[in-house]
Amino acid sequence: MKHTIMIRTMTIMKPADILKAMEVTEELAERMGFLPYDCLFLRLATEEACMNAYEYCQKVQKLPFRVFWKIDEGQLMIVVKQQGGCFSITNHDTVNTGPRGRGLQLIAHIVDDVYVKQEGNNVLFCMCKCKKK
């Protein structure tokens, strides 16, 4: 039987909360034994995902949103849960040189698995990184 442990959850109301979420990600990744390089990039992925959610939620007046961290058999999962509609993630090999839109592409290259799922009125943006054995 697969055993999942919920490690932490956090409510994001303001940009300072996003900094705290980045610190939680880095702390958990370090505790799991990820290399410093991976810890830094997981922190960056958390920042990108949270900033996207923050900007959207602020624009549509649906703050706050939540972040969840789970550790499951050597895998760190970071989930950003916000109110709103589903969106898609496409992994492109071409470089986006526009003023916006690089965050999701960056996240997709940092983590091992990334997906979006609709759950009622909420959308869950899930990022998973496996610790190499």
Length reported for the chain = 133
Q: Where are the domains of the chain?
A: 5-130
Position 103 confidence tier, pLDDT thresholds 50, 70, 90:
confident
Assign 105 a pLDDT band (cuts: 50, 70, 90): confident
| Contact criterion met (CB below 8 Å) for 25 and 8 | no
Domain 5-130 sits in CATH at: 3.30.565.10
pLDDT at 95: 64
The first and second tokens of residue 54, run together, are 């923050």
10 Cβ neighbours under 8 A, 6+ residues apart: 17, 20, 21, 24, 66, 67
Give me the torsion for CA of 34, 47, 123, 86, rounded to 10°.
-110
**pLDDT tens digits along 18-63:** 999 999 999 999 999 999 999 999 999 999 999 999 999 999 999 9
Does the pTM surpass 0.95? The reply is: no
Torsion of CA 99, 67, 69, 115, to 10 degrees: -50
Residue type, 11: T
Cα of 49 vs its chain's centroid, Å:
5
